[in-house]
Amino acid sequence: MKAEYDFSNGRRGTVIPQKGKTRISIFIDDAILDEFRARAEKAGTGYQTLMNDALKKYLTGTDQPITEKQLRLVLRQEMPEYLRSLTATGTRPRTKRGSG
C-alpha cells in the first residue's frame, strides 16, 4: 500500500456506474418484500432482479387475459375432480334455481 495516493483527478460518485439503471429509495410492503426474497432465494437470484422482471412483465403486458377457450379447458379439467370431491364428502353443489 502506498503511503500517499493522488486523488486530484478523482470524481465523486459510484465506482462502477450502471448504465440504464437508477438507484432509488422505495417503500414496499413487508409481505411483498418477504415473498420476493423467498422466491429469489429459491431461484438462486437476487430479489431486486425478480422485482425488476415482474415490473417489466407488467408494463409490457405479456400476461394476456385468459381467453374463453382457456377457461373452458381449465373447467373441463377441474370440474370432474371437484364434483368427485363433493360426492365423497356428501356435499351437494349449489345450483341456481329456475324462476318458475
pTM over 0.75: no
Task: Tell the residue number behind the cell numbers 437508477, with chain if given.
Answer: 22
92 Cβ contact list (under 8 Å, min separation 6): 86
Residues in the chain: 100
Place 28 in a pLDDT band, splitting at 50, 70 and 90.
Answer: very high
Q: What is the pLDDT of residue 94?
A: 67
Q: Is the pLDDT of residue 31 over 90?
A: yes
pLDDT score recorded for residue 62: 65
d(CA 37, CA 31): 10
Query: What does the domain layout of the chain look like in residue ranges?
Result: 30-89
pLDDT at 43 exceeding the cut of 80: yes
Query: Residue 20's pLDDT band (boundaries 50, 70, 90)?
Result: confident
